[in-house]
Structure 1
Amino acid sequence: MRHTRTLAAAAVAAAFAGPALLPAQAQAAAGSVHLHKIYYNSPGPDNRSNASLNGEWVQIRNTTSKAVSLKGWTLTDASRHTYTFGSYRLGKGKTVTVRTGKGKDTAVNRYQNRGAYVWNNDKDTATLRKASGAKADTCSYNNPKADFKNC
């Protein structure tokens, strides 16, 4: 009986210890590159103008303590429309917006250069994958009365 109580007490102590028991390396790795916001219903008429297409976008945020290369990373919707990042580094604490329409890529805006909408106005799922194919994040929405989703 005494052995069972000792094990139970150790389990409770470990559960409440939390991050203090993690190695320094694991604590330093806090943060992620993740989907931050999807603006899926661009303002104004759905006329496929470039301005309207660029009003539809996904933001990706880097909350790690260092810049991350997104080269080869992909952003995909449920219908498998895929945007693949070329050579690009997302700085620590920075956000990049991936717009549906055409434009000149900058540090804060990337363009899919499409002539049609990607994100459905009622429901869809965004998936962010690393160059290795590993899933970094997903964000789904199912609200035709809203224009955007905070992930």
Structure 2
Amino acid sequence: MRRTAASLALASALAATAVVLAPTTTSAATPPVKIYKVQYDSPGSDSGTNTSLNSEWVVIKNTTSTNRSLTGWTLRDRTGYTYKFPTFTLKAGATVTVRTGKGTATSTQRYYNRSWYVWNNTGDTAYLKDSKGYLKHSCSWSSVGTGSKYC
């Protein structure tokens, strides 16, 4: 009986030690495609010029070593202003910047083609969804602060 009690005590002590020494994970794994940075407050006054509108943007990053198709993916805010990617491939490790105003799309720059701002300076959320509508990443802010946020 003494051996059983001693064995039980030793097993309990080892289990407690294992719990204390077990590694903890506090952050989720980096998604393959993510919102990297949002410039939600265009520098200067909100004049509504195309230059000002294009100074409001979202950078999306491919964090992998594989090209990723973003065809049909969407980027939207809480209000529902949505940019939908046409046929588009984000190269491995590359970024694409989606600007609010008008411009000519390239492999690194895309445009909402809007005539007013998308991102609210006092708080908003950017949502990145795949072509099936599944949320892949989001980024939120609640005050003007520096006018931008790394996600």
Q: Secondary structure at the match of 1:46?
A: coil
| 1:112-131 CA distance string (max 9 Å, x none) | 10001000111100010011
What's the CA shift for 1:142? 1.1
What's the CA shift for 1:44? 2.2
Which consecutive residues of structure 1, in runs of 5 or more, have no partner in the other structure? 19-29
Matches of 2:32 and 2:15, distance apart in 1: 34
Aligned residue pair count: 140
Residue 138 (1) aligns with residue 102 (2): no
Matches of 1:143 and 1:150, distance apart in 2: 14
Matches of 2:88 and 2:103, distance apart in 1: 16
Matches of 1:42 and 1:149, distance apart in 2: 13
Matches of 1:128 and 1:88, distance apart in 2: 15
What's the CA shift for 1:36? 0.4
Deviation beyond 4 Å, 4+ runs, structure 1: none
Report the equivalent of 1:23: none
Report the equivalent of 1:60: 60
What's the CA shift for 1:145? 3.1
Say if 2:53 and 2:101, in contact at 8 Å, map to a contact too: yes
Q: Secondary structure at the match of 2:106?
A: coil
Matches of 2:55 and 2:142, distance apart in 1: 19
Q: In the alignment, residue 79 of structure 2 is paired with which amino acid?
A: S
Given the two structures, how large is their TM-score scaled by the length of structure 2? 0.81
What's the CA shift for 1:32? 1.3
Matches of 1:8 and 1:94, distance apart in 2: 45
Matches of 1:85 and 1:139, distance apart in 2: 19
Q: Secondary structure at the match of 1:145?
A: coil
Report the equivalent of 1:98: 98
What's the CA shift for 1:45? 2.2
Mapping of 1:2-151 within 5 angstroms? 8=15, 15=22, 32-151=32-151
Given the two structures, how large is their TM-score scaled by the length of structure 1? 0.81
Q: In the alignment, residue 148 of structure 1 is paired with which amino acid?
A: S
What's the CA shift for 1:88? 0.5
| 1:4-32 CA distance string (max 9 Å, x none) | 66x949x76xx55x9xxxxxxxxxxx751
Which consecutive residues of structure 2, in runs of 5 or more, have no partner in the other structure? 1-7
Say if 1:31 and 1:65, in contact at 8 Å, map to a contact too: no
Flag the structure with larger Rg. Answer: 2
Identity %: 49
| 1:66-95 CA distance string (max 9 Å, x none) | 000000101010111111100110011001
